[in-house]
Amino acid sequence: MKILVVDDDAICRLVILKGLQRGGYDTVAARDAREAFRLLQSDDTISLLITDMMMPEVDGFGLLDQIREVPSLTRLPVLICSALGSSDIVFRAAHLNIAGYLLKPIDLPRLRQEVRRILNAQARPLAHVSETLTRLEEDEVGYFQMLTYFVEKLSQDLPVISRLCDRGESQNISTKLAGLSGAAQTLGAEALSHVITRMAQANAANDTCSVSVLLPEFEKAAAELKETVQRLCRQLEPASTER
């Protein structure tokens, strides 16, 4: 998931970018609304827009009006980070279907918390199950057997990755994450895949501290995947018995 940060203030833009990158997020930046709109139209991998409101020429409201007129961008989540916080401003922004509103000065832990909340709401434990079955040429029974095995592997690998982080063994962390990432993507474990990608990006930057910080998210995504697989397997049991 890529995040677009829009702020005409270079210091604020840099602080937000570095704070998100420490959280393992892929980022891109724009200095004004016009540049942001061009990026949004040309890059369909952007999953979240973080924007200031006070900007020259086209302000945050102008940018929101523009993107909501583009069919492919109507559902793009937007997080506002601005020094403007009057009730009428927030009320007007809410009517443009924003995902959140944070007041400056920038609070990076709070910002990352909001970003996690917004992106986690988009990602599902399992996505596009029917398409995955077709892609893998599997029936439901075979697919959920693979998922069950993967869930068991996750429970074994989590403490191993935690120990590797404690020892700062970046190369071994990379090997573990690469294997898990491929399996998560193959099986359509969307939420888990997103977390692993962020962990891998942080690890590639030799930031094992950020990898450790992301471990609770990894554990939560793994637990949600396990719960989803168990629930779907229970639903599948009567149909399997009837056959």
All domains in the chain, ordered by first residue: 2-122 (3.40.50.2300), 129-242 (1.20.120)
* Interatomic CA distance for residues 100 and 49, integer angstroms: 11
The DSSP secondary-structure symbol of 81 reads E
Please give the pLDDT value at position 241. 47
Q: Find the DSSP H helices in 43-124.
A: 60-68, 87-94, 108-122
The pair of structure tokens assigned to 124 is: 């599902």
Please give the pLDDT value at position 238. 57
Please give the pLDDT value at position 5. 97
Burial readout 153-192 (b: 16 or more C-beta within 10 A, e: otherwise):
ebeebbeebeebbeeebbebbbebbeebbebbeebbbbbb
What is the enclosing helix (H) or strand (E) of 144? helix 140-167
Residue among 53, 41, 36, 122 at smallest CA distance from 93: 53
- Indicate the pairing of strand 26-30 with strand 46-51: unpaired
**74 phi and psi angles, rounded to 5 deg:** -65, -30
Residue-by-residue pLDDT tens, the chain, 243 positions: 799 999 999 999 999 999 999 888 999 999 999 999 999 999 988 999 999 999 989 999 999 999 988 888 888 999 999 998 887 888 788 777 788 999 999 999 999 999 988 887 777 889 888 899 999 999 999 999 999 999 999 999 999 999 999 998 999 999 999 999 999 999 999 889 988 988 888 888 787 787 888 888 899 899 999 999 998 888 876 554 444
